[in-house]
Amino acid sequence: MTFDAQTIKYLVIDILASTIPLATPLILAAVGGVFSDRSGVVNIGIEGMILIGSFTGVLTSYYTRNPWLGFLMAGLSGCLTAWFHALASIKYKANQTVSGVAVNIMATALTGFLLKAIFDRAGQTERVVKLARWTIPVIKDIPIVGEIIGSGPPPVYIAFIVVALAHIVMFKTVLGLRIRACGEHPEAADTAGVNVALIRYGCVMMSGFLAGLAGGTLSLGELSLFKEGMSAGKGYIALAAVIFGRWTPVGAMWASLLFALADAIQLIAQNWGFTLIPQEFMLMFPYVVTMAALAGIIGRSTGPAASGKPYVRRGV
């Protein structure tokens, strides 16, 4: 193979065009993670919520043949799952990591069970109607850019809209100010008359909704079926993106894109038959970057001060 300009151009376009869809579920889940964390609840359960979402999405589309309804139900099922996590960590002041891990284990077991019970198959469901690709009129005609983002599964575009909305909510609205207050200093928020529990419930469930949509993206946006364990660690990578993106929606988006880029390079390297860097190293990339970020090697990241701590109004 020769590396003339043309080949490199194809290679780059190929990589970038695969990056965006790979990033989409990460972006959705990570923006959700930003909300949860910012309000003071760590949501490790995102992984499980993605899985539940991807299953529910396929299930709905299977029975209704309406993939959009499936996509919506994916979000709502994630939201419902998150409600359990919220209940455990806000009302019952449980350890949030334990509760989140429990959600993940339960999600794996539940989807595996339902797969067998409803579809009577192991491993994966049959094919269902998936979301039709969108083509964006003007953009598709721009050279290079058009090839990368001119058309794609709808969740891709939805994800970027979500990022913009999330940014506005978090930093321009009253709600955002209160969310951030709850994550930094719940007592201060409480004494100022903010309902800390309500805000936290809302944020955790929002994060579940977005994680569910991320699941729907996997099963109805890219594929058209559910596979056992199809979240494949995306929830954890999304959490890494939350941290690396410094707990902001836009930062989380860039981090997701970066991690997806690493993934895309790895996939395309395989397709083109490169074995320069072992695949395993590329898979490690998001985690290594996150650890470096946390250790302060790449800038300093400190999360919301009260994140992970249940809020107890002392002595009531």
Ligand X SMILES: Nc1ncnc2c1ncn2[C@@H]1O[C@H](COP(=O)(O)OP(=O)(O)OP(=O)(O)O)[C@@H](O)[C@H]1O
Q: Return the CA Rg of the chain.
A: 20
For ligand X, the closer of residues 299 and 315 by Cβ is 315
What's the CA angle centered on 61, arms 55 and 62, to 5 degrees? 85
For other proteins, the closer of residues 132 and 192 by Cβ is 192
For other proteins, the closer of residues 20 and 181 by Cβ is 181
**DSSP state, residue 90:** I
**DSSP state, residue 152:** E
The token duo for 12 is 């780059």
State the nearest-atom distance from the C-beta of 31 to other proteins, in Å: 19
Partner touching 58 among other proteins, ligand X, none, CB below 5 to 8 Å by kind = none
Query: Of these, 112, 176, 233, 308, which contacts other proteins (CB under 8 A)?
Result: 176
State the nearest-atom distance from the C-beta of 86 to other proteins, in Å: 20
For other proteins, the closer of residues 94 and 194 by Cβ is 194
Distance (Å, whole) CA 123 – CA 8 = 38
Partner touching 202 among ligand X, other proteins, none, CB below 5 to 8 Å by kind = none
**CA quadruple 265, 270, 273, 274: dihedral sign:** positive
Which residue type occupies 167? Answer: H
What's the CA angle centered on 256, arms 253 and 259, to 5 degrees? 150
The token duo for 108 is 């794996």
**Contact letters for ligand X, residues 276-315 (x by CB under 6 A):** --------------------------------------xx
Q: Which of residues 180-219 bind other proteins (CB under 8 A)?
A: 180-181, 184-185, 187-194
**Contact letters for other proteins, residues 113-152 (x by CB under 8 A):** ----------------------------------------
Partner touching 139 among other proteins, ligand X, none, CB below 5 to 8 Å by kind = none
Residues 216 and 234 sit within 8 Å (Cβ to Cβ): no
Distance (Å, whole) CA 220 – CA 70 = 8
For ligand X, the closer of residues 137 and 315 by Cβ is 315
**CA quadruple 286, 209, 189, 98: dihedral sign:** negative
Residues that bind ligand X (CB under 6 A): 314-315
